[in-house]
């Protein structure tokens, strides 16, 4: 599937129309100051980071293609660890068995909440590449049953978890700042305040768990490339905020993915989201 993405991008950049004009690029890259940046600048910055939080739109082929490229460029410079929001911590043992060849994909899909519906198109190419190259892949997300539990009753409900279940969670009690703009915005988006104060808590337990398992599996001098929805790391909040609580010395690089009609500049509402922002054309086909 990675090669399909590569061929797609090659076609888009090389094919000309009937008038001999080059097809416009499908994406543009900008740095934290809103200036156009080259991919090689992103690679250089990623190689200097301890953790790279690659925020994506889950159905964006360009983001998945760039994730595949970046993983290869990081691994070419040494070792690499990959982490995925798309796997939950109760799936780690099964994921390890899949990577070692002990488990088939169909069997992996029966563990926990199973695979994401778009796993085969959007994430399996990277996981299988890691499998081929002997790279660890970490299931970082919280099992959804705990997120639902927090939504219903807040963080204190986690204290009742068994000792075994607590191994799937970040250390309790979970630090939480309800005034972070991202969590405040979540409440404002809910009509009539539906869900109350526990709604952003359900998001925060995901952010905290992902940060915890990134730190727990971070190897010295080995970059950790983490794939997550942009909303989990935009504005240096979410996972990034929890990384600063758990391991403040880590050098964290963030990437966001947004859509725009105009690729020539970063719009004001998309400025300041991350160290690098991938701007994808609104006309780009979605993977689902």
CATH number of the domain to which 32 belongs: 3.40.50.11550
Q: Is 65 part of any domain?
A: yes
Q: Is residue 118 part of a domain?
A: yes
Chain segment 104-133, per-residue pLDDT in tens: 999 999 999 999 999 999 999 999 999 999
In a domain, 9, yes or no: no
Q: What is the pTM of this model?
A: 0.91
Q: In total, how many domains does the chain have? A: 1
> Which of these, 273, 287, 260, 269, lies nearest to 62 by C-alpha position?
287
Name the band, by pLDDT with cuts 50, 70 and 90, for residue 188: confident
For residue 246, the enclosing domain spans 28-281
Phi then psi for 30, rounded to 5 degrees?
-130, 150
> Does residue 261 surpass a pLDDT of 70?
yes
Report which DSSP code applies to 20: S
Query: Is 11 within the bounds of a domain?
Result: no
User: Is there a domain that residue 7 lies in?
Assistant: no
Torsion of CA 214, 257, 253, 245, to 10 degrees: -50
Judge whether 6 lies within some domain.
Answer: no
Q: Give tens-digit pLDDT for 69-92.
A: 999 999 999 999 999 999 999 999
* Distance (Å, whole) CA 65 – CA 25: 14
């Amino acid at each position: 599937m990675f090669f399909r993405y590569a061929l797609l991008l090659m076609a888009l950049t090389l094919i000309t129309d009937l008038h001999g004009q080059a097809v416009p690029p499908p994406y543009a890259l900008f740095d934290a100051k809103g200036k156009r940046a080259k991919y090689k600048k992103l690679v250089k910055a990623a190689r200097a980071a301890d953790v790279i939080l690659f925020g994506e739109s889950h159905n964006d082929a360009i983001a998945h293609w760039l994730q595949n490229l970046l993983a290869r460029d990081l691994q070419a410079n040494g070792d690499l660890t990959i982490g995925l929001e798309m796997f939950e911590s109760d799936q780690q043992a099964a994921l390890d068995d899949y990577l070692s060849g002990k488990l088939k994909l169909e069997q992996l899909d029966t563990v926990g909440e199973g695979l994401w519906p778009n796993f085969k198109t959007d994430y399996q190419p990277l996981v299988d590449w890691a499998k081929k190259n002997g790279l660890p892949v970490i299931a970082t997300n919280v099992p959804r049953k705990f997120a639902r539990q927090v939504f219903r009753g807040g963080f204190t409900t986690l204290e009742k978890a068994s000792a075994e279940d607590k191994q799937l969670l970040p250390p309790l009690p979970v630090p939480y700042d309800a005034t972070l703009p991202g969590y405040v915005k979540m409440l404002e988006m809910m009509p009539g305040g539906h869900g109350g104060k526990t709604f952003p808590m359900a998001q925060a337990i995901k952010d905290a768990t992902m940060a915890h398992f990134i730190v727990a599996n971070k190897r010295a001098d080995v970059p950790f490339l983490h794939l997550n929805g942009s909303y989990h790391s935009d504005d240096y909040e979410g996972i990034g905020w929890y990384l600063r609580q758990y391991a403040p010395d880590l050098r964290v690089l963030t990437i966001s993915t947004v859509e725009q009609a105009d690729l020539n500049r970063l719009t004001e509402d998309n400025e300041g989201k991350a160290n690098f922002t991938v701007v994808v054309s609104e006309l780009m086909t979605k993977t689902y």
